[in-house]
Amino acid sequence: MIEVERFYGTEEFPPRQDWERDIKAALFDPFPAARVLLAMEAAEALGLASYNFLWPAAGVSRSLFLKELYVRDPHRRRGIGIDLMSRLHTIAIDSGCSRVEWQTDALNIEAQMFYKKLGVAPMADKITYRSNGADLGRISQLRQHAE
Counting Cβ atoms within 10 Å, is residue 23 exposed (0-12), middle (13-18) or buried (19+)? middle
The mean pLDDT of 128-146, rounded to a whole number, is: 83
Q: Can you give the residue ranges of every domain in the chain? A: 34-122
Tally of residues, the chain: 147
* pLDDT at res. 66: 95
Decide: pTM greater than 0.75: yes
Q: Find, among 60, 47, 128, the residue nearest to 88 by Cα.
A: 47
Domain spanning 34-122, CATH architecture: 3-Layer(aba) Sandwich (3.40)
pLDDT tens column, 81-113? 999 999 999 999 999 999 999 999 889 999 999
Question: Greatest CA span in the chain, whole angstroms?
Answer: 55
Of the listed ranges 8-12, 27-31, 110-114, 128-132, the one predicted with least confidence? 8-12
pLDDT tens column, 45-65? 999 999 999 998 888 889 999
